[in-house]
Structure 1
């Protein structure tokens, strides 16, 4: 058994169902949980947008603070680092003479690069980096195909996996954690991260607050208090209010709750209130999350290329500043697009229906490089998840996993179908 280990937390800020945490506890006499605010996550990207905007950063700060509280209840706490992970983690490894760093495994390109650089620096200190796959519903090792053979069409992926794979049971949270005394946490402020505070507009579907405590509260509300899960399939294309869909995505993105934990709760719910299309549909949506994550494992950098995973490209690569500005600020010639874009800008959230429409509009009507749209979503969305965001944008731009090729939304028809009485447009287009 090792004397001291470090756990490097990233997008796995939870004590329930956290294999990395349990493995570290089992293999070490004492552990030091750390979270590093990576400087590169707060830079401006090549597309001219911030990598992390203020809504998402605020949600992250809430989540880190809540995670520290939950760790302290178990006898530990969170050490906060800020800078380059490879530099900061190396310092803490030397300070505590740690022999191993435990972390969740990454699949997307930049995150993988960071993981490699950290591993190289730790190797120089004779310290090992061990990673665990903790982000998906189905474990990577349980897939009925090798990574290179994962079907590129979701339906084929889903059918095979549902038939041939099992979902593992959740890990219970530890009863206690043995750590040296960890000083009170000093969180950076938004200003320290180069951002300004933005209040979520009062018209928002909900006031999002980060952290595992809030995630479990939301799950309990959506499942057991309101039984909204039973009608999820019928209401999920809604646009106004908190309960037309689960809204779990923001907490899932930071790992404040795991997909497997949600699955286990769905199963409890089904025992109590019965299974139907809606209870299945929530699991179906979690499968989409898995699919994009495994796609990134398979195709690596391709999802960040203009041509995506296809060789022939359809979209224009143009950048017309004025059109981009109009789209971002919700002053295009489509009131349905404008309402959705204003909701995003002022709350950090947009419905699934809205996202598909504004992405289709961006790629097809404005004929712009889809990656600019994806980069703006990266900055703005509270629930930004690298695989789902870039995977969905590539899909809608016709360079991703859509078997039908170029998907084109008739925006007017969509507005009439999903905002019949104009309630959503009236809400967001009114003069304040």
Structure 2
């Protein structure tokens, strides 16, 4: 009996999941596993819990949905809590597993964890097989090696679009053979050291986790409303559900894959026509790929104050009260405050808002940018390690921005993007 584990991490879906498809092809039985990793709920050196209330709630919803979808094809999800390098080998021994299939990691802590798991599995004569499942373009199909990827996004994009291709998505499995898996037993938010926090009713969207919700959102944004055809014009919006796709939350946990989005976009373009807006979504997915490949190239550097540029930037002595005012939306700069209050009460903020509040923290307050990145990690429903730290380093002038020191004139930004103060009035009213 060839028995394998599929270790789900940030790939909580059945569609376009190479890890799952390869495991099925090489096994007689599959045990799908999700590990609540203790380290994801610890407090970081910056004073924030890695995973906050909104992120955890979205994660729990996504896992419930994955379990439901797995059960519909004959399986289920086995839940463990602790350190993956301890918990995964326990299941390997209990079920006499010969292979563990998992998503391949690229960022520093995740890679270290992967290596520790591999080390423990090796002792049990069990193989760890990893697959790249997070990007639109597969790393192996890029027109350059990882170490030679251009540090400027435009150069990366042009050459990739010209000389590479997007692979076809994997079909969703119709059946999964598993031993009996007990009904889902999730830790409560309390057991994770967190509280339930309802999303404020002013939120752009009542985000709910899971593959089912992700696909429903895609169908809404593409086929039901055709909002995608105006995406380029509306993407800098601040109020309402449909100024942008909002796919980022589901992409972050892998409830939907970039290739699946691309496949559906091609169907949409065939039916309703392609334009700058439909292309712009692919452009944004390319940014996401880019930060993932950059993380692979530079590894731990993205988490250091000097970033990948290794240059000093003027930073004030750490000021706890200034940081707290920024978090609470009490800086006195109305556009910054409105955005920070939205983030605090909903776990989400527009792209326009993120750039402004990051510029304010780095350039006006001159605080260490990593505190901002760590707070976003804690608070954002759509936190993605590569995009978050890559974008913050970019804004702080220590990342991939060829211009360096990108300063936002916040007053001008507010009058350009919130002319009638609709957004500020929404969030600044008590």
State the TM-score, normalized to the length of structure 1.
0.99
Deviations 1:131-174 (A, max 9, x none): 00000000010000001000000000000000000000000001
Tell me, in whole angstroms, the C-alpha distance in 2 between the residues paired with 1:429 and 1:166.
46
Deviations 1:34-73 (A, max 9, x none): 0000000000000000100000000000000000000000
The runs of 5 or more residues in structure 2 that have no matched partner are none
Which residue does the alignment assign to 2:271? Answer: 272
Which residue does the alignment assign to 1:114? Answer: 113
Which residue does the alignment assign to 2:148? Answer: 149
The runs of 5 or more residues in structure 1 that have no matched partner are none
Tell me, in whole angstroms, the C-alpha distance in 2 between the residues paired with 1:336 and 1:317.
23
Alignment of 1:403-418 (within 5 A): 403-418=402-417
Secondary structure of the structure 2 residue equivalent to 1:371? helix
Tell me, in whole angstroms, the C-alpha distance in 1 between the residues paired with 2:296 and 2:425.
42
The answer (yes or no) to whether the contact 1:240–1:424 under 8 Å persists in 2 is yes
Tell me, in whole angstroms, the C-alpha distance in 2 between the residues paired with 1:344 and 1:180.
43
Q: Indicate whether 1:84 and 2:95 are aligned.
A: no
Deviations 1:190-248 (A, max 9, x none): 00100011110000001000000000000000000000000000000000000000000
Deviations 1:379-420 (A, max 9, x none): 000000000000000000000000111100000000000000
For residue 312 of structure 1, report the CA deviation from its aligned partner.
Answer: 1.4
Secondary structure of the structure 2 residue equivalent to 1:82? strand
Tell me, in whole angstroms, the C-alpha distance in 2 between the residues paired with 1:30 and 1:407.
53
For residue 88 of structure 1, report the CA deviation from its aligned partner.
Answer: 0.4
C-alpha RMSD of matched pairs (Å):
0.6
Tell me, in whole angstroms, the C-alpha distance in 2 between the residues paired with 1:409 and 1:173.
44
For residue 321 of structure 1, report the CA deviation from its aligned partner.
Answer: 0.9
For residue 322 of structure 1, report the CA deviation from its aligned partner.
Answer: 1.1
Which residue does the alignment assign to 1:133? Answer: 132
Secondary structure of the structure 1 residue equivalent to 2:2? strand
Runs of 4+ off more than 2 Å: none
Which residue does the alignment assign to 1:14? Answer: 13
For residue 333 of structure 1, report the CA deviation from its aligned partner.
Answer: 2.0
Tell me, in whole angstroms, the C-alpha distance in 2 between the residues paired with 1:139 and 1:204.
34
CA gap 1:399/1:74 in 2 versus in 1, 3 angstroms: same
The answer (yes or no) to whether the contact 1:315–1:367 under 8 Å persists in 2 is yes
Alignment of 1:13-412 (within 5 A): 13-316=12-315, 318-412=317-411
Tell me, in whole angstroms, the C-alpha distance in 2 between the residues paired with 1:352 and 1:8.
32
For residue 317 of structure 1, report the CA deviation from its aligned partner.
Answer: 5.1
Tell me, in whole angstroms, the C-alpha distance in 2 between the residues paired with 1:130 and 1:23.
9
The answer (yes or no) to whether the contact 1:250–1:382 under 8 Å persists in 2 is yes
Report the more deviating stretch, 304-313 or 279-288.
304-313
For residue 361 of structure 1, report the CA deviation from its aligned partner.
Answer: 0.2
Tell me, in whole angstroms, the C-alpha distance in 2 between the residues paired with 1:23 and 1:355.
38
Secondary structure of the structure 1 residue equivalent to 2:264? helix
Tell me, in whole angstroms, the C-alpha distance in 2 between the residues paired with 1:294 and 1:12.
17
Report the more deviating stretch, 393-402 or 317-326.
317-326
Secondary structure of the structure 1 residue equivalent to 2:79? strand
Secondary structure of the structure 2 residue equivalent to 1:6? strand
